[in-house]
Amino acid sequence: MEWRELTMIVTVSKIAFFGLALIILSGAKPISDVDKFQPEYKNRLFLTANNNKQMQEMQVALAGRFYQGLAVIGFSDGSKYKFGYLNQKGKIIIKPQFNGAGKFSSGLAPVGIGNKFGYINQTGTVVIKPEFDEAESFSEGLGRIGIRARYGYVNKLGKVVIKPQFEYAKMFSENLAVVEINGKTGYIDKTGKVAIQPQFNGAASFSEGLAAVEVKGKLGFIDKTGKIVIKPQFDEVAHFSEGLAVVKIKNKYGYIDKLGNVAIPLQFEQAEMKENSYYQEPAAFSFSQGLASVRIDGKRAYINKNGSVVISTEFTRASNFVEGMAGIEIDGKIGYIDLTGKLVIPAKFEWAEPFSEGLAAVVVNSEWGYINRAGKYVIRANFNKNP
């Protein structure tokens, strides 16, 4: 149940998927830069949003995290989805009108208009016209865009500063971005110049100065010169977080340090894949706020960086910590614990997002809302009416 985040909310075959961020990498190409929590909450009944004639005919389908004071809200009329933005008082600031929507970053957010993508500001005004086949939220001053299956980058003024030319590309991280040229992945700088030659079968974004790469079916790490500093030997890896990275060999997970030394032995075993499941939860998550969720004897617990269990094994699922809170599952319901392991918000939710800017989106009885850190609802299902 590691929180995971997608950069865009899109619709696929009338099913809307939205994000929840960390990362497990596999040898599959290209290596994904999203983490490990896969939404499993399906078949939800949607909510009626009153106060607006158009909204009365549509129902709340999705509620995202807050970024820069706004969260994506998705509505369905039974056949299609439209996305807009909600503020922290529960008021819809930008009405649902877009076919896709991403989080705000640097004051801008990518949105789908018709069959193209552009960017809006926080008033909902289109500031970069929709002319791209794909668009992602800005990262380090640049937004990744795609035109006819080639990828490049725009600045906040909408100027294409790195023309779409790559077969694949990721957002910038630590001043470098993964790109694919002629079937191999490498890295470019913000001028578009190749900084690390495309030579890998797969590559992940840099984190804490290192990046995971795939060589001959195994994963290791390079530094910013492109030098392999940790030999490719792992079946799965996660990005470095707080000085450690999750690694997997065969069916066991553990942690290494930046020298490639085993910091916590590979001892956490992967659970068997559930029938009809499209996602298998890793046995170990990245460290966050000094703790990591791991699987021990079929339950989730939290360990510290010495590998010692500090929060006992009693949870069916347990997320990484965000803003001092972690989602945990008990008897099929989700609640929240604090960094001491104390259950501070009872397990009563059918779905729960991580806290972001002090609020978390949750579902009870198929109804969406937002709670604060005390577990109190501050935004109810009727998003046009302040609580």
Given pLDDT bands bounded at 50, 70 and 90, which one contains residue 59?
low
**Considering all CA atoms of the chain, what is the largest pairwise distance in Å, rounded to the nearest integer?**
61
The dihedral built from the CA positions of residue 82, 87, 88 and 91, taken in this order, carries a sign that is negative
Report pLDDT for 274: 64
Q: Is residue 316 in a domain?
A: yes
Report pLDDT for 17: 27
Given pLDDT bands bounded at 50, 70 and 90, which one contains residue 61?
low
Report pLDDT for 2: 44
Q: How far apart are CA 156 and CA 364, in angstroms?
A: 39
Given pLDDT bands bounded at 50, 70 and 90, which one contains residue 15?
very low
**pLDDT at 275 exceeding the cut of 80:** no
Report pLDDT for 282: 87
Report pLDDT for 145: 97
**pLDDT at 325 exceeding the cut of 80:** yes
Report pLDDT for 381: 67
Q: What are phi and psi of 72, to 5 degrees?
A: -70, 135
pTM above 0.85, yes or no: no
Q: Which domain holds residue 299?
A: 289-387
CATH code of the domain in which 380 resides:
2.40.128.630
Q: How far apart are CA 40 and CA 71, in angstroms?
A: 21
Q: Is residue 302 in a domain?
A: yes
For 11, 259, 314, 317, 384, the CA distances from 53, given in Å and listed in that order, are 24, 60, 47, 40, 12
Q: Is residue 159 in a domain?
A: no
Q: Is residue 311 in a domain?
A: yes
- Is the separation of the CB atoms in 94 and 108 below 8 Å? no
Pick 80 or 318 by higher pLDDT. 318
Calculate mean pLDDT across residues 112-117: 94
Q: Is residue 235 in a domain?
A: no
Q: Is residue 336 in a domain?
A: yes
Q: Is residue 280 in a domain?
A: no
Report pLDDT for 28: 29
Report pLDDT for 31: 32
Q: What total number of domains does the chain contain?
A: 1
Q: How far apart are CA 69 and CA 136, in angstroms?
A: 19
Q: Is residue 328 in a domain?
A: yes
Report pLDDT for 60: 56
Report pLDDT for 166: 98
Given pLDDT bands bounded at 50, 70 and 90, which one contains residue 377?
very high
Calculate mean pLDDT across residues 47-63: 42
Report pLDDT for 295: 95
**pLDDT at 40 exceeding the cut of 50:** no
